[in-house]
Chain A
Amino acid sequence: MTVRIGVVVFPGSNCDRDTVHALVQAGAEPVELWHEEASLGGVAAVVLPGGFAYGDYLRAGVIARFSPVMRSVAQFAADGGLVLGICNGFQVLAEAGLVPGALLRNRDVRFLGREVSISAERLDTPFTHALDGAGPLRMPIAHGEGCYFADAATLDALEADGGVLFRYVDEAGNRAAEDDRAANPNGSLRAIAGVINAVGNVAGLMPHPERASEAILGSDDGAGIVRSLVESAAKAVGERRVTVALR
């Protein structure tokens, strides 16, 4: 049975259909979840896609945070459900406090639409286990507010506890310096491109794996992230079923 994965659609989401497509490619059955609906329809995982939810007014992601669907997503996450935020979805997760940190305006104040290289810092998570860990992953970024920020203590804790999931790297695959405008174009602290929460069920990243999920798109390096999520969601459903059966 194919696993059902929710893709939240906010007013202003613009990567929802790409995400749906990538999920189908990975063998899942995507379910679009409208922002005004509180029901998640029993999906096994939720993706918050990229875009400009609610026009990104006030701060990117903040108004989306208070939408009916996000209250359900927060509860779903608290219950251990898998949630992946991509780009604007990452900003929403950060504003909601579901992952640590904040996304600031890019260092050079400009919107950036270009390809970057990132490394997966962990291969043992529900979002990365299907990656082979060989070399950097090439995928696009497209954002105005992608400069990852957290205070020094939070950053140290993230590093120590495995909270850094993806990092911007240079072409040789080495961690990008904070002032390396080519490899870390938005100026993210410690070159952090994606993080995962302490429990390990909620993750966000600024680059777009769904836009790099087929060779025809120029890179299929993102497909492993989508596939990881789909496999993990299928496994979660299986475990839930076993639990129910044991009762």
Chain B
Amino acid sequence: MSTHRYAVNVTPKPGILDPQGRAVEGSLDHLGISGVSGVRVGRRVELTVDAADETAARAIVERLAGELLANPLIEAFAIESIAGASSRTAAPDTAPPATAGERPA
């Protein structure tokens, strides 16, 4: 068994209306910032996987990302391996707190 830590970055697919991104972009004027465009707001999910090896761990994350974390109709995802838990012995309880983007209503 080995332990692997990943981040799954979920973003709205190109062409999908992203009203959050548009709202963020619209606020830039208030900061006196210009020249910024193409703002897209997504979601980053970090997780730790215990599996036989890295290939198996990645397969789990792929499935999780495709079936749960992202809706393939509207969202794309990218998986990255992140530092902190690629140790041979599992000790990932120092995982940073999940920052589940709580949405009002």
Chain A residues near B (Cβ < 8 Å): 52, 55-59, 62, 66, 95, 101-102, 104-109, 111, 144, 147, 149-151, 187
Give 27 CB contacts A-B under 8 Å.
A55-B102, A56-B103, A56-B105, A57-B100, A57-B102, A58-B69, A62-B71, A66-B68, A95-B71, A102-B74, A104-B16, A104-B17, A104-B19, A105-B19, A105-B20, A106-B19, A107-B19, A108-B19, A109-B23, A111-B104, A144-B103, A144-B104, A149-B17, A149-B73, A149-B74, A151-B73, A187-B17
Query: Which of chain A's residues has its CB closest to B100's CB?
Result: A57
Q: Roughly how many angstroms separate A151 CA and B14 CA in the complex, as a whole number?
A: 12
CB interface residues, B 38-79, toward A, < 8 Å:
43, 68-69, 71, 73-74
Report the Cα distance A105→B71, complex, angstroms.
Answer: 13
**Nearest chain A CB to B8 CB, angstrom units:** 11
Contact (Cβ within 8 A) A107 B17: yes
| Those of B10-41 within 8 Å (CB) of chain A | 16-17, 19-20, 23
- Please measure, in the bound complex, the distance between the C-alpha atom of A151 and the C-alpha atom of B74, giving whole angstroms: 9
Bound form: Cα–Cα A149–B16 in Å: 9
CA distance A59 to B103 in the complex (A): 10
Provide the residues of chain B in CB contact with A104, threshold 8 Å.
16-17, 19, 74
A147-B17 CB under 8 A given contacts A62-B71, A66-B68: yes
Which chain A positions have C-beta within 8 A of B104? 111, 144
State in angstroms the CA–CA spacing of A136 and B8 once bound together.
Answer: 44
Chain B residue contacts of A66, Cβ below 8 A: 68
Distance (whole angstroms) from the CB of B39 to the closest CB of chain A:
13
**Contact (A58, B68) CB under 8 Å given A102-B73, A102-B74, A111-B104:** yes
Which 10 interchain pairs have the tightest Cβ spacing?
Answer: A109-B19, A111-B105, A102-B73, A102-B74, A109-B23, A105-B19, A144-B105, A107-B19, A102-B71, A57-B100
Q: Which of B43, B73, B74 has the most CB of A within 10 A?
A: B73
> What are the residues of chain B within 8 A of A149 when measuring CB–CB?
16-17, 73-74
Chain B residues lying within 8 Å of A150, measured Cβ to Cβ, are 73
Q: Inside 8 A of B103's CB, which chain A residues have their CB? A: 56, 144
Instruction: State whether A101 touches B73 (Cβ < 8 A).
Output: yes
Closest A residue by C-beta to B13: A151
Contacts of A111 in B (CB 8 A): 104-105
Given contacts A56-B103, A149-B17, A149-B73, 15 further A-B contacts (CB under 8 A): A52-B105, A55-B102, A58-B43, A66-B68, A102-B73, A104-B16, A104-B74, A105-B19, A111-B104, A111-B105, A144-B103, A144-B105, A147-B19, A149-B74, A187-B19
Nearest Cβ on chain B to A169's Cβ, whole angstroms? 21
Q: Which of B19, B69, B100 has the most CB of A within 10 A?
A: B19
Cα of A147 to Cα of B68 in the assembled complex, Å: 20
Which of A59, A147, A151 has most chain B Cβ within 10 Å? Answer: A59
**Who on chain B is nearest to A55 by CB?**
B102
In the assembled complex, the CB of B13 is this many whole angstroms from the nearest CB of chain A, namely 9
Collect the chain B residues with CB atoms within 8 Å of residue A106's CB: 19
- Nearest-neighbour CB distance to chain A for B101, whole angstroms, equals 9
